[in-house]
Structure 1
Amino acid sequence: MSTKTENNTQLSSKDFHQTFARPNYQRPEKFIHKNVEQAGVHDQFSSERKHPVFFVDLPTKNVSMTIGGLLPGQLTNKHRHTYETVLFVIEGAGYTEIEGEKVAWQAGDAVYIPVWAWHRHQNTSDEHPAKYIACENAPQLQHLGVALREEEGRD
């Protein structure tokens, strides 16, 4: 595994002597992503997932955050991935099916989706949308080259 130094020079294991016991603060390119949903839906991701998805665009290396929406009655594709997910439901009600087990949720609930578990999300209202924040450790696994995602019937 390689890392970068303060001046963005690529390091490898032969440069271990340049790795210090205490990290140096490096100011990120930005601290805030204002009006996340105003930046627009991520088209490819949203169409693959069959529901609107908004990416929180911040320079994280270990966790990611997205805002997911489910239209009234909407059911997502069944999928699984090698990263953990925690959903925090902002509005609406529905369920997440995890390995065949339905876990009902509503606004204010948090739902845990384990690594490599088949799952999908359903908005149970025919009138009101549902919205949640998804936090995942996908970037960490992407940096290690082990982040995988599989859609049922596609991959």
Structure 2
Amino acid sequence: MEKQTAAFTSKDFHRTYARPAYVKPGKLIHKNVEQAGAHDSFSTERKHPVFFVDLPTKNVSMTIGGLLPGQLTNRHRHTYETVLYVLEGKGYTEVEDEKIEWQAGDAVYIPSWAWHRHQNLSDSEPARYIACENAPQLQNLGVALREEEGRDL
């Protein structure tokens, strides 16, 4: 085994000297996520309820999103990827110029920097989904951006 060097350069991309170690986080569970309440400022900005899963992950985030009957979200985009898993309801997600219809049990992928928005197709029943994103990873690297249509970055 080679001796570990003090700093890596571009010619060393294939080498790694990582030595993983378990570091116990402050918490491993967030009980009753939705009972903790919606994230008010983010929910107001997005115009639909959003519940953050408060766990100490540095690479992925998870939120529970809700769409009221007939609700259409603002069009927006971000540098992080999103995977939605639909818990209940029926609707669609518009990704750029493509309309992706979904219902409970479906998963939807939203690519990085794609304009998108969500619509609940029911006039009487709410829709709910879990959104998993790599936002914390990009935030920690300083490259996470989010833009609402009609607003400057």
In angstroms, what is the RMSD of aligned CA positions? 1.4
Match of 2:56 in 1: 59
- Using structure 1 for the length normalisation, give the TM-score: 0.87
1:82 is aligned with what amino acid? T
Residue among 77, 84, 88 paired with 1:87: 84
Report percent identity of matched pairs: 81
- Runs of 4+ in structure 1 deviating by more than 2 angstroms, as ranges, are none
Return 5+ residue gaps in structure 1 as ranges: 1-14
Q: How many residues align?
A: 140
Are residues 1:140 and 2:140 paired?
Answer: no
Q: Bigger shift: 20-29 or 61-70?
A: 20-29
Corresponding residue of 1:75: 72
Match of 1:152 in 2: 149
- Structure 1 distance, partners of 2:49, 2:26, is 27
Alpha-carbon offset, residue 24 of structure 1:
1.2
C-alpha separation in 1, matches of 2:151 and 2:46? 12
Q: Deviations over 1:61-95 (max 9, x none)?
A: 00000000000000000000000000000000000
Q: Which residue of 2 aligns with 1:105?
A: 102
String of CA shifts for 1:77-125, please: whole Å, max 9, x gaps.
0000000000000000000000021100000000000000000000000
